Amino acid sequence: MESFKQNDGNRDELIIQQQRDIEKEISDSTPLVGELLPLTCLWTEYNGDDVFTAKIQDLAKKYKFIRRTRPDGNCFFRAFAYSYMEYLISNNSAYKEFQKLAEDSKDKLVELGFPSFTLEDFHETFMEVIRRVSPDNPGGYNKVQNELHKILNEQGYSDYVVVYLRLITSGKLQEEAEFYQNFIEGDFTIEEFRHQEVEPMFKESDHIHIIALCAALGAGVRVEYLDRGEGCIVKAHDFPEGTEPTIYLIYRPGHYDILYPN
Amino acid sequence: MAGSALRRLMAEYKQLTLDPPEGIVAGPVSEDNFFEWEALIAGPEGTCFEGGVFPARLVFPPDYPLSPPKMKFTCDMFHPNIFADGRVCISILHAPGDDPLGYELSAERWSPVQSVEKILLSVVSMLAEPNDESGANVDAAIMWRERREEFNSIARRLVRKTLGLAT
């Protein structure tokens, strides 16, 4: 009988509701993707703390600006989408290649077992966003960049882009399950990990998400780790190792924002 | 955001109408509000719920399908995974992390590629095979485990009740 848990479901739902309210408060006060800010704005957050002051100084040698994302558990995917598309706007041949890859990705995901019916909406929205940020659109880089900023701050579009990137990530994990199984801690199978930690919204990302997404899209990400660790140098890591990065992110425990190199 | 939820719900409704799974009928309560559905679920064959037609309501959040709907039976129910007030408690109705009853790791969870159809099919399997590890209705869970005959006869009475027959 021990396994029975006397449970008042209503109380649990109240707790979940409260959690939702807190999340909503955070989200209402932070844009999905913020404006460009000077990197040194980070100083004010750490209030003269020696370790962080030195590390931010180090970081400022390499990066000029930061762009914050909403801390809602989707920050890695949203930061990735924004930063990568910003790169694609200024690189026509990479854009074309990516557009093709994105177009073909739906059939690939269906082959991997995703339900075509529910996938369709996300894929269509994803393709629409890609079309709207084409470097060929009239008005040049600035106009298209404005459009990108606008779209990724529109909850509906922005969240659908996040969903689709999550599905691409999950698809890659499935496709190379044997390889990725090595990165998974605990008793999770790849299948469980995909359904629990990758596909649902608001679940935070780990290295394995980054590696799989980069591999699926052929993109390179450099992550700068700003934490309380020893030394006054900020450690960086490239995904996949040895690749020239096109996306630069700063990681502070639990959260990713976008960086802009000098 | 509600725009994409509405589009998706309309597509799901269409799909369920054109190609309904056996024993399930579902759709919006009224054409003006796609965010509230009624479903009729036939008790699975070969189980104590066979022959019954069980009505339920589904309420969808504005950010559906990012978040799952809530589901509640509107008839009398006695089942380990259904609360006394009719709320259905199965893993697919929850995103991971929202864990009222500590579901197993492997249990199927909500994600944006799930659908109303997947939920209703899960509910049919739940009727056929209760999960007595996560007791939303502890009395029902204990009875199902220890006094199956008594459980079956309550279920059969509920079946007759949904059909409007004398119990």
Q: What is the pLDDT of residues A174-220, one digit of tens each?
A: 999 999 999 898 888 999 999 999 999 999 999 999 999 999 999 99
pLDDT, residue A221, reads 98
Which residues of A are catalytic, by number?
72, 75, 255
| Facing B113 at nearest CB: one of A119, A192, A197 | A119
Residue ranges making up the domain that contains A87: 46-261
Q: Does A113 touch chain B (CB under 8 A)?
A: no
Which of A4-8, A40-44, A74-78 shows the highest mean pLDDT? A74-78
pLDDT, residue B99, reads 61
pLDDT, residue A5, reads 45
The neighbour count for residue A103, using CB atoms within 10 Å, is 13
The verdict on residue A41 lying in a domain is no
Q: Do B1 and A156 touch (CB under 8 A)?
A: yes
The verdict on residue A249 lying in a domain is yes
| A16 pLDDT tier (thresholds 50, 70, 90) | confident
The residue whose two tokens read 């299948």 is: A191
Domain count, chain A: 1
ipTM above threshold 0.95: no
The verdict on residue A1 lying in a domain is no
Give the C-alpha separation, A256 to B2, whole Å: 27
Model confidence, pTM: 0.90
> Which of B8, B64, B66, B81 is best to mutate for the A interface (most A CBs within 10 A)?
B66
Contacts of A64 (CB under 8 A, 6+ apart): A38, A39, A260, A261, A262
Write out the residues of chain B at the interface with chain A, using a CB-CB cutoff of 8 A.
1, 3-4, 7-8, 11, 15, 63, 65-67, 83, 87, 89, 95-98, 100-102, 105-106, 108-115, 133-136, 138, 141-142
DSSP label at residue B94: S
| A237 pLDDT tier (thresholds 50, 70, 90) | very high
pLDDT, residue A102, reads 98
Contacts of A214 (CB under 8 A, 6+ apart): A220, A221, A239, A240, A243
The verdict on residue A7 lying in a domain is no
Residue B165 scores a pLDDT above 90: no
The verdict on residue A168 lying in a domain is yes
| Facing A200 at nearest CB: one of B110, B134, B141 | B110
Catalytic pick among B71, B77, B89, B159: B89
pLDDT, residue B100, reads 57
Q: Kindly state which CATH superfamily the domain B2-162 is placed in.
A: Ubiquitin Conjugating Enzyme (3.10.110.10)
A31 in Cβ contact with B113 (< 8 Å): no
Tell me: the pLDDT tens digits for B81-107? 999 999 999 989 988 766 655 566 567
pLDDT, residue B19, reads 92
Residue A33 scores a pLDDT above 60: yes
List the CATH number of the domain containing A211. Answer: 1.20.1300.20
Q: Strand B70-73 vs strand B53-59: parallel, antiparallel, or unpaired?
A: antiparallel
Tell me: the pLDDT tens digits for B58-88? 999 999 999 999 999 999 999 999 999 999 9
- Beta sheet of B24-30, edge-to-edge order: B24-30, B33-42, B53-59, B70-73
Residue A86 scores a pLDDT above 60: yes
The verdict on residue A247 lying in a domain is yes
* B165: phi then psi, degrees, rounded to nearest 5: -95, 160
Tell me: the pLDDT tens digits for B5-25? 999 999 999 999 999 999 999
